[in-house]
Every structure is written in structure tokens, then in C-alpha cells.
Amino acid sequence: MSFFKKLFGKKSEKNQAPESNPENFQIELPATRLQSLAICAKAGFQPAKSLPTSWDTKLRPSIEIAGRLHAIKAMIFWLLVPSEHVSDDKILQFIDQNRLEKFMTDDELIIFRASRDDQGLKDSIGWKFENAWPLAWYFGYEEPKIYGNMMAGEQMQEILMNYTCSLDENLNEWASQQETLTEEAVIQKEDLFYCLHNAVRSAQLGRDTVPDGFDPVGNGGVIHERRHSLTWMLSAGTTWDDTDLST
């Protein structure tokens, strides 16, 4: 929660007791939030200044973050890589051996019972790219951008090739060999995207809180999906679907 320091009103007249003025106060924000607000302001986003600034967070073990990233990899391979290049059995074996089903939602598990040529699923998989970016960032990929442009296919290809293990590797071994970010770095980035998400939600309600040319729905969806991953990373013990994305 925000912390408030109440200030007193004007100095009293001589021989009069001072009177406090409860309407005058100064909001004391932690350094993490001040940095987030500064970045938002520079980029043209206007989140509310009264957002909560502290709550219980706990970074997940790196193997769980790796699990979610590789669950997304399996979905992308299933829908976007032709079966003549990677067989059904190879993908399903990769999921089974690394227990990746633990890091998928019920709706995502249905993907692997659907045709790999399902066009509706192919059209929706792009949002998983946005989920993948913060997860890959944790393992050394470039930091997620804030302007709401969807990831290019080349970026996702780089993540799949250089920031995940191959379908033949063991995920536990891969994760144990990776350098990862500090919890403080994840907290700072999550706070930034929390603020961005608030500005997006306000814009979706018709307020002027995002930069010119920023689409509150399309670009805002990108911010939402990247924020989802960041908040999930700091919500140990919470499932993907139960991640608190309130603003």
C-alpha cells in the first residue's frame, strides 16, 4: 500500500496552537515505483499515482519459470512447425519427459488433442509469444519492451533456438546451467508493467493515459500478456490462470 506522511497547515499566529490540515499530504513512494513512473512518463503513459506499492511476492524457482517457457515452446512447435520437420511423438515425448503439462492450463492442454493444422489455434498462438518474452528475459534474452508492438517471428525464433533447450535435452539439466536474473530485477520490471497495465486499462475506459498512436486494445493486449508472465513469476504457488492481474 502507499504510505502517506501528513503535513501540518500554515504556521499558527503567535500564542495560538498549531492546527493540522489533513488535506495537505505528501505521498512517499519507494524507489521501485518512482523509477517505474519516470519510465512511464517519458514514454507517454499515465498510470494512477495512488496504486498500491507493496504486497507479498515470492519469485518462483527457476525450474518453474523454465517449465512455463518450455510449455509455450511445445505449443508453438505443435502449431507452427510442420509435422514433417518435428513429429507429434517427439513433441509429446518432450512434454511427458519434462512434465510440462504442469505448466499448462486446461485450455492449453486441449491444443495437443487438436489438429496441428487448426487455423483458429494458429491465429491465437501469437499471444504466447508475448508470454514467452519475459520468461526468456529471465534466462538472458533482451528485456521486454513497453510500447506494445507484438514480437516478430524472428525474435521468437531466437528465443526457441538460443534461450530454451532442444527437444532432446533434459529441462532440469538445462535450467541448472543457466544464469538468471535477481529477484530485485524481476520485481522492478513487474512493477513497471503493473503501472503500464493500469494506464492501458484506463485508456480502455476512454481516458487519455497512453501515448498517441497506442491502441488500447491491440497494443494493450501485448502489455497485458507480458505483465501476466512477470506477475506469475513473482506469485510462487499460484497457477497461471489464478494470477492476480488487477490494477
Q: If you average pLDDT over residues 182-198, what whole number do you get?
A: 98
The answer on pLDDT for 6 being more than 50 is no
pLDDT tens per residue across span 149-165 = 999 999 999 999 999 99
The answer on pLDDT for 22 being more than 80 is no
pLDDT of residue 44: 98
| Domain locations along the chain | 62-131+148-176
Considering just the CA atoms, what is the radius of gyration of the chain in Å? 22
Share of the chain above pLDDT 90, in %: 87
**Stretch among 22-31, 94-103, 176-185, 208-217 having the lowest mean pLDDT:** 22-31
Nearest to 70 by CA among 138, 121, 149, 124: 138
pLDDT of residue 24: 42
Confidence grade of residue 27 (pLDDT, cut at 50, 70, 90): low
What CA–CA distances, in Å, run from 211 to 25, 43, 171, 219? 29, 7, 40, 11
pLDDT of residue 28: 85
pTM: 0.88
| Contact criterion met (CB below 8 Å) for 65 and 135 | yes
